[in-house]
Amino acid sequence: MQKHQVVMTGALMPPALERVQAVCEVKLWDQGGVIPREVLFDWLRDAVGLVVTGKVRVDDELLSHGPNLKVIAQSAVGYDNIDIPACIRHGIPFGNTPGVLVDATADLTFTLLLSAARRVHEGWNFVREGHWSLGKDLPYGTDIRGKTLGIVGMGRIGAAVAARARAFGMKIIYYNRTPRSDEAAIGATYQSFDSLLAQADCIIVLTPLSAATKGLFGREQFARMKPTAYFVNASRGPVVDTAALVEALTTRKIAYAALDVTDPEPLPADHPLLKLPNILVTPHIGSATTETRTAMSQLTADNLLAGLAGKPLKACVNGEVNYK
Ligand SMILES: NC(=O)C1=CN([C@@H]2O[C@H](COP(=O)(O)OP(=O)(O)OC[C@H]3O[C@@H](n4cnc5c(N)ncnc54)[C@H](OP(=O)(O)O)[C@@H]3O)[C@@H](O)[C@H]2O)C=CC1
Ligand SMILES: O=CC(=O)O
């Protein structure tokens, strides 16, 4: 039986990769970094499937180089790098990985808040530098019990963060474009965006990146927050105006930021954000556990193989396309 020609911009985890390789001839970019666009265009010429991992932009130009593509499957829930209308125009179903990464990402997001509030990483650096006693170089942290947490983007991951915050005795408020009908079960109260900014002691951002959320947090929004506010971004870097965040942290408009995502990403080692004392940055590791990355890879393989068989994808963002 002839194998399907598939392009992968990075490796899936072994069990999923093996499932795909059993029925597909895979051209895999395994040289690290982002696959150069000209290489990808060349590889796509005969491909019927594309698996996306990492920062690859899928747009009309790319799709025009893959005239035989029947399916695109990405190993991530966020799909701000994918031009969905373009996929629809080209009649290509696009699948992502919602759900399977919720707990891992919520754990990391809440860890960022706890680590920042209790200065865990600063304590670790302090000890490694040979210090022990608290002094001016290692200020006290802050309690989170009894504090108000504002979640902007109360979706699947936001609700899982809320469950963790409830267990830690926080009061939870949230903002979405649409209030949730199950907010009582989540234990959270809906607020307008401005009211959340003014009331919250800690703010966690978990919206997708879209035209509506790009730059949602800028100078004006940081000015509305409490000067004692802790700000956590685990969504996408460009949801926050980085220059405005640097200014807010430098002038103590807010107390502290913890970021799993940045703009630019990766953040250069000499970036102004990294020179600040009141920040914690992790390298986009929200879903990066072995179990979760394996589950994401399996769902990506499910989506790919369904699309190649002309069947509906398990998790499809543009279910309205006509299958080829
Ligand atoms: N750091 C990491 O490693 C990871 C980051 N992510 C990021 O987290 C995001 C959320 O994932 P997930 O929880 O599964 O997604 P969901 O779609 O379940 O939740 C997104 C939430 O954001 C809200 N939202 C969307 N647009 C706006 C807006 N303009 N203003 C305010 N709220 C808005 C939505 O509510 P409504 O539509 O009512 O506005 C919804 O409640 C992903 O898109 C991704 O960018 C995901 C996984 C890992
Ligand atoms: O950032 C990760 C994702 O799954 O989206």
Per-residue pLDDT tens for 91-148? 999 999 999 999 999 999 999 999 999 999 999 999 999 998 877 778 889 999 999 9
Confidence at residue 134, expressed as pLDDT on a 0 to 100 scale: 78
Say if ligand 2 is within 6 A of residue 295 CB. no
Residues 39-76: pLDDT tens digits?
999 999 999 999 999 999 999 999 999 999 999 999 99
Give the residue, by CA position, lying nearest to ligand 1 atom 26.
Answer: 207
Confidence at residue 9, expressed as pLDDT on a 0 to 100 scale: 98
Domains of the chain: 4-100+290-321 (3.40.50.720), 102-281 (3.40.50.720)
User: Is the pLDDT assigned to residue 323 strictly greater than 60?
Assistant: no
Cα 77 to ligand 2 centre (Å):
5
User: Is the pLDDT assigned to residue 1 strictly greater than 90?
Assistant: no
Confidence at residue 50, expressed as pLDDT on a 0 to 100 scale: 98
- 265, 271, 291, 293: the active-site residue: 265
Summarize the confidence of residues 228-253 as an average pLDDT: 98
Give the residue, by CA position, lying nearest to ligand 2 atom 3.
Answer: 76
The reply to whether 265 belongs to the active site is yes
Confidence at residue 321, expressed as pLDDT on a 0 to 100 scale: 83
Q: Which band of pLDDT confidence, cut at 50, 70 and 90, is reported for residue 322?
A: low
User: Is the pLDDT assigned to residue 203 strictly greater than 60?
Assistant: yes
Distance CA 316, CA 70 (A): 13
Say if ligand 2 is within 6 A of residue 286 CB. yes
Q: What is the mean pLDDT of the chain?
A: 97
Cα 264 to ligand 2 centre (Å):
16
Confidence at residue 135, expressed as pLDDT on a 0 to 100 scale: 73
